[in-house]
Amino acid sequence: MIKLIKQQKAQALLLIGGLLYVQMPPLSAQSEIDCDTVCEIEAIRSALPIDSSIQKVELPENSERHLPDETLTLWALPTQKPVPPVVREHSVTSNLAGEDSPITFRSGKAFIEGTALDQFQSIADRLKIKKNLRLHFIGHTDSQRLSAYTRQFYADNQELSEARARVVAQFFKSALNLPDDAVTYQGKADRVPIASNDTKEGMAKNRRVEMKIWYEEEIITTPPPIQLHKARICEGGINAVNQNNEFDGFRISIDGKTVNGKVSKQNADLQRCTDVALDKAKIQLQYNNLTTQPRLNITALPKTADIDGHVQFQGFTNYRSWFQKAEVRLFEIGQSPQATPLAIVPLDSDMSGTWADITTTSAKIAYRLRVYDNNGHFDETKSHTLWLKNDKDNGDTQETDVLFDGYDKNHLAIRNIPVQGGTLTVYGENIPDDHQVFFLGMPVPVADDQKFVTEHIIGNGGHTVEVAVLDETGNGDIYWRDLKFEEDDWFIVALADLTVGENKTTGPANLVTGNTHYYGDEPYADGRIAFYAKGKISKKYQLTASVDTREKELDQLLKNFDEKSPETLLRKLDEEQYYSVYGDDSTTYEDAPTQGKAYLKIEDEQSHIMWGNFKTHIHENELARIDRGLYGAQAQWQSLSSTEYGERKTAIQAFAADPGTLAAREEFRGTGGSLYYLQHQNITQG
């Protein structure tokens, strides 16, 4: 039974278990009624007392801390069939009800309605057995501006989001009988949307409360992706947990292993233990929030197939968690990839498939890999060639290593799937003979020198990643490491150089050298300012910027920023070796190419604006073709929607640059003379 204290004009106060869930000013002419369902309720600011013991705490975005053991998003929307994950997330996101019992917040409201209380109580019942429980609630809103009526009670969306988080926090604090310091909350207004605010459905998704949960338990509940007999590294500390899982408030651990105090599952101890074990095994696990380079490739076995046989396809990629399905499309040689395929071979979750029904009589065909995301966008590789034969005795079909020939190679030809996140790279050496390496549940080839390296792109947020080294029987070691890709991350390096000196000369040195700066019989000062920065803005855009004034007189440092200096293209050449040789597999990449003093680029997945060196690629048009490198400003925008052939429906590109050189064509009349004069005299020899 829900007790509703109702006032005129439909303003109301909802009381459940003695707790205040809807706030309102002091009541007058009020009456009490009972109803089995929640009546129309207006969420308005209250002068009545609420549970002020719950603290408002802003969790820092970028800090080393114990990741939540669970994350629950309090909403109720249709549950979609998930794509098979390649990364096990330590944070679990749950929908708490189906379409028949919505738990979304109404627009501009901060109260709980429907069957949400039953769902909340079921969560509370499950959490009652957890030890050292801590909860943090984060409220969110959609991007709508508050109405004039709602602004009487909430100043802005920030205050509304805090009210939503506080309402849910009060319920769980009371239901679990938690101490004051175990429950905190905060609001983020509309700054962290998880869906587009352009539709009502998207706004309903964004009106939510996230529940972060920390606790201690005996075992890790995340199931391993490879069902083999494995020995988890650092599992000894977990198995040694006492049955009561008591915590006496004091513990000393060295390299993640408890040496004093009762053993308990602590995330920090487990991560330290795993780091030490990875180092001893000579396995390096690195992640980069600022770099994502999608790769996609496909190979076939055998490369020369019998018409009466079958062909096995294997796809390779480093961003599989964005895929909803994958397929191989086969065409006759010379047939346009935009035409109807000769055959389509679907691939399974391991990106492998078999073409058994070969009906063509052609000697060779072309095949391409196409992958789709949940929104229907697709990426596609360039065409590969497959030979077909009738004579089973001709050709070599024993190509056992062909499937791994395409590993870690990129043959992307069409890119439409938006990818946001970071790159996770694992490198190892001294892998024992007859052992296989698995990364995120996928096999990784090991080179003849017993080394391996691979990378994968995963989305922002917390994840538990897995590296396993197993023998043919499934025995070996498995490493689990918790990581978090921050949505706001920066890499910045800067330097400032100052040179002060004075030359003493005899005679007119300034006249001989023509240099009055160094040979003017006065102190001189030169300087240089340089920096490079790369980071994310508003969780969507990436900024890359650099400035290098080069060494100049102090009064000239910040002048002529757009001045071109062609010798900057040669600054990586060693004066003695003429090219960089590092003696290993290292490579260099110019992330901020510019012939001037500055470089700036702001980009998202589809578009960018920039100043610096760039290349224009304007093809397939009737009036002009532009394909050259320039220095100047460029802006490019592409729509997210694409045609059925993978081409952008709308694309705009504009640039302004001084090309330095231009092609010219001149015609001379045959006058019988021997002298011809060109209109442009500054000719570049080449």
One-letter amino acid of 482 = D
**pLDDT for res 232:** 62
All residues at 6 or more sequence positions from 533 whose CB lies less than 8 Å from its CB, including other chains: 490, 491, 492, 493, 543, 544, 545, 546
Q: Which tokens sit at 190?
A: 């509309």
**pLDDT for res 396:** 47
All residues at 6 or more sequence positions from 199 whose CB lies less than 8 Å from its CB, including other chains: none
Residue 69 has pLDDT above 60, yes or no: yes
Residue 324 has pLDDT above 60, yes or no: yes
pLDDT, mean of residues 52-75? 62
Q: Which of 36-45, 549-558, 607-616 has the lowest mean pLDDT?
A: 36-45
Q: Which tokens sit at 202?
A: 């998207």
**pLDDT for res 48:** 35
Instruction: Provide φ and ψ at 24, rounded to 5°.
Output: -155, 165
pLDDT-based confidence at 10, cuts 50/70/90? Answer: very low
Distance of CA 106 to the CA centre of its chain: 31
Residue 23 has pLDDT above 60, yes or no: no
Q: Which of the listed ranges 58-62, 112-116, 299-303 does the model predict with the highest average pLDDT?
A: 299-303
**pLDDT for res 84:** 35
Q: Which of 15-19, 336-340, 500-504 has the lowest mean pLDDT?
A: 15-19
pLDDT, mean of residues 107-132? 77
All residues at 6 or more sequence positions from 517 whose CB lies less than 8 Å from its CB, including other chains: 524, 553
pLDDT, mean of residues 362-367? 86
**pLDDT for res 267:** 63
The angle formed by the CA atoms of residues 462, 467 and 472, to the nearest 5 degrees, is 150
Q: What percent of the chain has pLDDT over 70?
A: 71
**pLDDT for res 191:** 87
Which DSSP helix (H) or strand (E) runs through 192? none
Residue 301 has pLDDT above 60, yes or no: yes
The candidate with the shortest Cα–Cα distance to 264, out of 314, 322, 213, 214, is 214
Angstrom distance (rounded) from CA 150 to CA 160: 9
- Tell me how far CA of residue 554 lies from CA of 493, 504, 557, in angstroms: 21, 21, 5
Angstrom distance (rounded) from CA 261 to CA 250: 6
The bridge status of strand 325-332 relative to strand 343-347 is antiparallel
Residue 37 has pLDDT above 70, yes or no: no
Q: Which tokens sit at 666?
A: 């001149």
SS3 content of the chain, % helix, strand, coil (to 5): 15, 35, 55
pLDDT, mean of residues 102-130? 73
Cis peptide bond prior to 337, omega within 30° of 0: no
**pLDDT for res 633:** 93
Q: What percent of the chain has pLDDT over 90?
A: 12
Among the four given CATH numbers 3.30.70.2190, 1.10.760.10, 1.10.10.10, 3.30.1330.60, the one describing domain 48-216: 3.30.1330.60
pLDDT, mean of residues 353-366? 83
Q: Taking a C-beta distance cutoff of 8 angstroms, is the pair 583, 532 a contact?
A: no
Distance of CA 621 to the CA centre of its chain: 34
pLDDT, mean of residues 237-244? 36
Q: Taking a C-beta distance cutoff of 8 angstroms, is the pair 36, 2 a contact?
A: yes
The candidate with the shortest Cα–Cα distance to 661, out of 644, 640, 686, 635, is 686
Which DSSP helix (H) or strand (E) runs through 188? none
- Tell me how far CA of residue 130 lies from CA of 90, 212, 498, in angstroms: 17, 14, 60
**pLDDT for res 18:** 37
- On average, the pLDDT of the chain sits at 75
Q: Mapping DSSP to helix (H, G, I), strand (E, B) and coil, where does residue 620 land? A: coil
Q: Which of 123-127, 240-244, 358-362 has the lowest mean pLDDT?
A: 240-244
Q: What is the DSSP string of 79-108?
A: PPPPPPPSSB-SSPP---S-TTS--PPPTT
Q: What is the DSSP string of 103-167?
A: -PPPTT-----TTHHHHHHHHHHHHTT-EEEEEEEEE---SPPPPTTGGGT-SSHHHHHHHHHHH
Residue 352 has pLDDT above 80, yes or no: yes
What 8-state DSSP symbol labels residue 223?
A: P
Q: Which of 21-30, 159-168, 516-525 has the lowest mean pLDDT?
A: 21-30
**pLDDT for res 545:** 94
**pLDDT for res 79:** 34
Model confidence pLDDT, tens digit, residues 210-235: 888 888 754 444 444 444 445 566 75
Angstrom distance (rounded) from CA 330 to CA 369: 9
Residue 370 has pLDDT above 90, yes or no: yes
Residue 593 has pLDDT above 80, yes or no: yes
Residue with more model confidence, 646 or 354: 354
Residue with more model confidence, 300 or 10: 300
Instruction: Provide φ and ψ at 123, rounded to 5°.
Output: -65, -45
Angstrom distance (rounded) from CA 20 to CA 43: 11
Angstrom distance (rounded) from CA 634 to CA 676: 39
Angstrom distance (rounded) from CA 95 to CA 103: 9
Angstrom distance (rounded) from CA 24 to CA 19: 14
pLDDT-based confidence at 24, cuts 50/70/90? Answer: very low
Angstrom distance (rounded) from CA 186 to CA 666: 71
- Tell me how far CA of residue 23 lies from CA of 13, 19, 164, 290, 312, in angstroms: 6, 11, 11, 44, 64
Q: Which tokens sit at 501?
A: 């000196």
Model confidence pLDDT, tens digit, residues 615-668: 888 877 777 778 888 889 999 998 888 888 888 888 898 999 887 777 788 887
pLDDT-based confidence at 550, cuts 50/70/90? Answer: confident
Among the four given CATH numbers 2.60.40.1510, 2.70.98.10, 3.30.360.10, 2.60.40.10, the one describing domain 296-414: 2.60.40.10
pLDDT, mean of residues 416-428? 88
Q: What is the largest CA-CA distance in the chain?
A: 113
**pLDDT for res 608:** 93
The bridge status of strand 384-389 relative to strand 364-372 is antiparallel
**pLDDT for res 328:** 94
Residue 610 CB-density burial (10 A; 0-12 exposed, 13-18 middle, 19+ buried): buried
Residue 546 has pLDDT above 90, yes or no: yes
Q: Which of 169-178, 382-391, 451-460, 581-590 has the lowest mean pLDDT?
A: 581-590
Q: Bridge-partner residues for 655, per DSSP?
A: 634
pLDDT-based confidence at 583, cuts 50/70/90? Answer: low
**pLDDT for res 527:** 92
pLDDT, mean of residues 148-176? 87
Model confidence pLDDT, tens digit, residues 88-101: 333 333 333 333 33
**pLDDT for res 258:** 54
Around Cβ 406, how many Cβ atoms within 10 Å?
Answer: 21
pLDDT, mean of residues 560-582? 65
Angstrom distance (rounded) from CA 482 to CA 466: 9
Q: In the chain, where are the structural domains located?
A: 48-216, 231-282, 296-414, 422-485, 490-657
pLDDT, mean of residues 445-450? 87
All residues at 6 or more sequence positions from 642 whose CB lies less than 8 Å from its CB, including other chains: 377, 416, 648, 649
Q: Which tokens sit at 3?
A: 């007790």
Do the domains at 48-216 and 422-485 have one common CATH topology? no
pLDDT, mean of residues 502-515? 79
pLDDT, mean of residues 19-46? 38
**pLDDT for res 534:** 92
Instruction: Provide φ and ψ at 239, rounded to 5°.
Output: -65, -25
Q: Taking a C-beta distance cutoff of 8 angstroms, is the pair 252, 259 a contact?
A: yes
Name the CATH superfamily housing domain 422-485.
Immunoglobulins (2.60.40.10)
Q: What is the DSSP string of 494-560?
A: EEEEEEEE----SS-HHHHH--TTTSSSS-EEEEEEEEEEEEEETTTEEEEEEEE--SEEGGGTTS-
Q: What is the pTM of this model?
A: 0.58
Which DSSP helix (H) or strand (E) runs through 206? helix 200-206
